[in-house]
Structure 1
Amino acid sequence: MDWYCLVFNSGEINGAGSAQYLYEKICEGDFSLVGDIDIIDNLYNELMEKNFNITADKGPGFIVIGCSLEDADFIDNFVSELCKKHKLSYYEPQNMRYQF
C-alpha cells in the first residue's frame, strides 16, 4: 500500500496539524485521543461491502485505510464522502488534508 487516510472520531482535533499528530499517535499504537462510536462500525461495514482493493485497519474510534497510488484519487473521494455522510472526521496525510 502506498497511500493512506484516516477516518476518526475525536473532539480533540481542530485542524490538519493536530490531525497529523493524531495519525502519528495511532500509527504508534496510542488510541487515547479517539473515542469509540457506533458510526465508525457503520462506515467500516459500508466500506467493506464495496470489495475495494484496500487495507482497512479498524480500532476503537478510527479506521486507517490504505490503497495503491493508482487507486488513491478514487478511494480518497469515496471515503471523504462517506465521512460526510456518517459525520466523521477525515484526514489524508500525504497532502495534510483535514475534513470535519
Structure 2
Amino acid sequence: MHTEQVLIKPMLTEKSSLTTENYNRYVFKVQRKANKYQIKQAVEQLFDVKVTNVRTAVMPGKVKRVGRHTGKAASWKKAYVQVQEGQKIELYKGL
C-alpha cells in the first residue's frame, strides 16, 4: 500500500481537538488494512514530523435504515498518532 493511500482524512471533532491540545495526538481515518508501521511512515512523510506513538481502533459499522429496509454501514479504522514534543501538524491551514 502506498503512503498516500494509507491516510483517508483527518478526524476534526471536538474530542480530537482536545486530544491534540492536551496530548499532542492527532486522529486520522485510515485504510482498514493499514498497520501501525505504515501509518507512522505515511504521517512522517506527508507532514514532515517525528511520530512517537501510534494507536489504532476499528470502529464497528452502525445499523442504518431506509424506510423498512435495514443494512449495515461498513466498519472503519482510526489511528491516534502522537508526534514528538514541540512538533505540530497544521491541519487547519486551509480552513
Shorter-chain TM band: 0.3 to 0.5
TM-score by length of 2: 0.33
More strand as a share of residues? 2
TM-score by length of 1: 0.32
More helix as a share of residues? 1
